[in-house]
Structure 1
Amino acid sequence: MPRDTLTREQIVRTAVELLDAEGLEGLNMRSLGKRLGSAATAVYWHVKNKDNLVILASDEVWNEVGLPDLDTVDWRTAATSMATDLYAMIARHPWLVMAFASQPLFGPNKARHDDHSLAVYEKAGFVGAEADQATAAVFMFVLGSTLGLSASVSVNRRLSHGGGNAQALVQEAMTQATEIASRFPRLRARLDSYADADYAAAPEKSFEFGLQSVMDGLEERLTTRLHR
């Protein structure tokens, strides 16, 4: 694709596709240029460097998180919807977890999301710094909940690129982890209780349970304040 027909929007969309397929470690200008059918040097006319491209790509995916109309839903419904959308978005783009850990991420789409989050918790009754704290508490819960998924995707990709049977290698590692876990009484009881239990897997509906527990805690703080 010639330089004069290449757009930043095309580059960013293709970068997201490459990141989804190869992860943060697989993103480079040469691979991106190949996907675009363009020379890597042409990409530099539109983005400064890889870090800049990661910022642009990460901001692009924030568009996937819905922003509920606060005039039609209560704060808890809105907060739960946004957190659930965020979890699903990161699950689709697990490279984002590593990106958060490697550099500051910012942009208009993320800022729009963050601003709406503050509006949600201000509607609930949190004021000033408390609104920021409530927003951060939910965000950190969601981000932490995606760590296992992100790590699993990264490990499988790394094993696949290293040759051999990735599934067999992962299974071998899980077998070793299960053998170690069986030495401890509570973990052994859990493994014995469920024939197909995966030591590393969280129980079904763990995200929903955790999110509602966080929401319960925030609501309790508001209720306590009203009765002081």
Structure 2
Amino acid sequence: MTGKTYTSVWLREPRKATSPGRSREEIVRAALDLLDEEGIDGLSMRKLGAKLSAGATSLYWYVANKDELLELAYDETWGAIIVPDPEEAGWRETTSVLAHSMRQVMLRHPWIANLLGRLPALGPNALRVADRMRQAFKLAGFTGFDVDYAGATLTGYVYGMTLPEIAWNSTMAADDYDADTMRAQVRKAAADFPEMLDRVDMDTYEDPRMMRAVAFDFGLVSVLDGLERRLVT
């Protein structure tokens, strides 16, 4: 008994344009615009065809289905992630820049949150990032499977910190909560927890976006410190 055949847009040769001015790159750029504007639910071959002034059926020459289109758009976002050359920057600077850049790319393209773990990251941009990250951890001194474990730890941290932030940003934008009302509700809910009330009742409130950025950096430094500690034990 044979298993289901695995398919990906990256596992076949791209088809050439059938008319002047039309290319897969152009289609991907238009798809990115739609995804950024309307999210995954707002992307359809019909809408994309209208945006390109082309029939939806003509797009199937370039991609077999919506998932293939999402794979292409997903890899395009990986191309925006900055990863220095580990040999020039060193492993900690490389992984730190990568992590901060990955977070910023995810925040700019929040629809990515719906693709993590669902679509493969087999495109050239994603593989470039993964390769640079492996180079960095090998340069640090990790060997064998520990190189993969270190990479999984770093990306897991970025995803774990950024995905709730994406969800929060989406909720706040959709519902337009009043900050003072929210603080009053939290104060009521935390009435039996004085340590938490100290935070709610502060006279000054930092910019939430700045606070999240600082928290991300604090955690990232701690993760890299922990990985570095493993190298000397």
Q: TM-score range by the shorter chain?
A: 0.7 to 0.9
Offset, 1:49:
1.0
- Alignment RMSD (CA, Å): 2.8
Deviates more, 1:73-82 or 1:145-154: 145-154
- Residues 195 and 66 (structure 1), Cα distance of their counterparts in 2 relative to 1, 3 Å cut: closer
| Aligned pair partner of 1:11 in 27, 44, 69 | 27
* Pairing 1:86–2:86 present: no
Map of 1:85-104 to 2, 5 A cutoff?
A: 85-104=101-120
- Residues 145 and 44 (structure 1), Cα distance of their counterparts in 2 relative to 1, 3 Å cut: same
1:110-143 deviation per Cα after TM superposition (whole angstroms, max 9, x unaligned): 1111111111000000001101011110111111
**Partners in 1 of 2:154 and 2:56 — Cα distance?**
39
Offset, 1:106:
2.6
| Aligned pair partner of 1:115 in 106, 109, 131 | 131
Offset, 1:8:
0.8
Task: State the partner residue of 2:227.
Answer: 218
**Partners in 2 of 1:198 and 1:179 — Cα distance?**
22
Q: TM-score, normalised by structure 2?
A: 0.81
**Partners in 2 of 1:222 and 1:192 — Cα distance?**
43
**Partners in 1 of 2:66 and 2:136 — Cα distance?**
34
Offset, 1:56:
0.7
Is the Cα contact below 8 Å between 2:183 and 2:200 reproduced in 1?
no
Query: How many residues end up aligned between the 2 structures?
Result: 216
Is the Cα contact below 8 Å between 1:87 and 1:146 reproduced in 2?
yes
Is the Cα contact below 8 Å between 1:182 and 1:191 reproduced in 2?
no
**Partners in 2 of 1:188 and 1:133 — Cα distance?**
39
Deviates more, 1:62-71 or 1:114-123: 62-71
Task: State the partner residue of 1:180.
Answer: 189
* Pairing 1:192–2:208 present: no
**Partners in 1 of 2:96 and 2:146 — Cα distance?**
18
**Partners in 2 of 1:57 and 1:202 — Cα distance?**
30
* Pairing 1:29–2:38 present: no
**Partners in 2 of 1:132 and 1:3 — Cα distance?**
42
1:3-26 deviation per Cα after TM superposition (whole angstroms, max 9, x unaligned): 624211111111111111111221
Where does the alignment leave 5 or more consecutive residues of structure 2 unmatched? 1-16
The letter for the 1-side match of 2:223 is V
Is the Cα contact below 8 Å between 1:94 and 1:153 reproduced in 2?
no
The letter for the 2-side match of 1:125 is G
Q: Aligned residues: percent identity?
A: 37
- Residues 177 and 69 (structure 1), Cα distance of their counterparts in 2 relative to 1, 3 Å cut: same
Q: TM-score, normalised by structure 1?
A: 0.82
- Residues 41 and 154 (structure 1), Cα distance of their counterparts in 2 relative to 1, 3 Å cut: farther
Task: State the partner residue of 1:51.
Answer: 67
- Residues 173 and 139 (structure 1), Cα distance of their counterparts in 2 relative to 1, 3 Å cut: same
Map of 1:104-183 to 2, 5 A cutoff?
A: 104-155=120-171, 159=174, 166-168=175-177, 176=185, 179-183=188-192
Report which of the two has the higher share of helix.
1
1:57-104 deviation per Cα after TM superposition (whole angstroms, max 9, x unaligned): 001111111231223221111111111111111111111111115433
Is the Cα contact below 8 Å between 1:121 and 1:131 reproduced in 2?
yes
Offset, 1:156:
5.3
- Residues 42 and 204 (structure 1), Cα distance of their counterparts in 2 relative to 1, 3 Å cut: closer
* Pairing 1:38–2:47 present: no
* Pairing 1:208–2:224 present: no
| Aligned pair partner of 1:74 in 69, 72, 90 | 90
Is the Cα contact below 8 Å between 2:85 and 2:132 reproduced in 1?
no
